[in-house]
Amino acid sequence: MPIPVFLALTNEQERSSVQKALAELKEGNFELAGNVDTPDELLRFVTKPTPMIIVLSAQFAGNATVPLVERLTANPLVQVIVLLQQEDFSLARQFIQAGAIDTLPPSQLSTELPASLNNALRRIQKLSREQISRPFQVGRIIVFYGPKGGVGTSLLVTNLAVALAAYQPEPVVLVDLNLQFGAVATLLGLRPEATIASLARRFQGEIDFEFLQPFLLKHEESNLRVLAAPSRPELSELVTTFLVERVLQVLRNNFAFILVDTSTILQDTTLAALDLADQILIVTALDLLAIRNTQLVLEMFRKLYPSDRLKLVLNRSNVRFSGLTPEQVEEFLNIPILAQIPSDGQVAVTSVNEGVPFVLRAPNSLLAQSIFKLAASIAGEQFSPPVPVAEEVREGLLRRTLRFLLGEE
């Protein structure tokens, strides 16, 4: 299958030269996919892990072209060739460091462009072979966002990640992008020595799974891998949008499910994760402020992302003193509720205080069962949670065990 080539150029001379070079190359390897007029349009093409080559003018986004290349090449299957306006070694190095496979000044455009395109093709083919050798081609990035603090997003996503890791066969990783006050490690009873901040300190622009692995914690009880948030709020400044994009792309190529917890603040790192998401799960609750914030967020997200990517999760759905019902929420927000998670203060608080996810500690609870149902909607038939034990059966087992210990049986 030919590799699509997109042109993001600022003048007709560049466009003509690129089209001529493509015509001279081996038929069947490349396909001119079209011209792109704006950076936003270009970024929409690369949110999915589809192989492509982009021939980009160095002035396409003005002073923001180098950061644009960083975002484009966060997807390793996207190869960018930059056409310079003049010989400029310093600018060329900036583009290479940002991830471009090659830079070409005008004097080399006609002679070197075919070789650059073939180099890009070979790199894509190599990466594609590596993905095919894995049991899955690419993983799904699922980002969780709570428009209002205190709606329980972190507890929900942590237990969902544990459930997926424990009760289905594919590898799962949880990334804590609540960079100032991330709680995932605490909720799992982990004391991380390595975090995304320590990863940022060693990050030099390139990253692969071998480099990333030492920073992934293992939750022994479920086999979940975790990239923890910084240990202190001020360390969040070490984590850049570029790093987040690189990390998520590497994880996508090595895990079937990549779950991402985020903060309420829509900072650049959160937006970077949202841009790469296959699904965005918006977590809300039955209170007026949460619903109002959710409405505002949905209005914005619907302008940025396809509507089928947006899902709504209603936490604490059985709280009736609010005066709101799930049906009213669906009607007001004009979006169906994917999952309703009931409130169970005793189960939730005990889980938090002990650092043991309630899907492991209290799998028979309504709270855990609702998480299992959500996990099944994500993972499908391969998700196989523990069968709930009826209360009377469980009490009978306890009585028989006690009689055995007392020597009565």
The pLDDT score that the predictor gives to residue 130 is: 55
Partners of 91 in the β-ladder: none
Over the stretch 63-106, which tens digit does the pLDDT of each residue have? Answer: 889 888 888 887 777 899 999 988 888 898 888 888 888 999 88
Closest CA to 158 of 369, 356, 344: 356
Q: What percent of the chain has pLDDT over 90?
A: 44
Q: Which residue stretches of the chain have pLDDT < 70?
A: 26-28, 47-49, 127-137, 319-322, 387-409
Classify each residue of 48-78 as buried b or exposed e, where b means 16 or more C-beta atoms within 10 Å of its C-beta: ebebbbbbbbbebbeeebbebbbbbbbbbbb
Domains along the chain? 3-132 (3.40.50.2300), 140-392 (3.40.50.300)
Residues in the chain: 409
Over the stretch 382-402, which tens digit does the pLDDT of each residue have? Answer: 888 876 644 444 445 455 555
Q: For the sheet containing 310-315, what is the strand order?
A: 217-219, 224-227, 172-177, 257-262, 140-145, 279-285, 310-315, 337-341
pTM score, two decimals? 0.67
Task: Name the H helices within 195-312.
Answer: 196-202, 209-212, 241-252, 268-276, 288-304
Over the stretch 283-305, which tens digit does the pLDDT of each residue have? Answer: 999 888 999 999 999 999 999 99
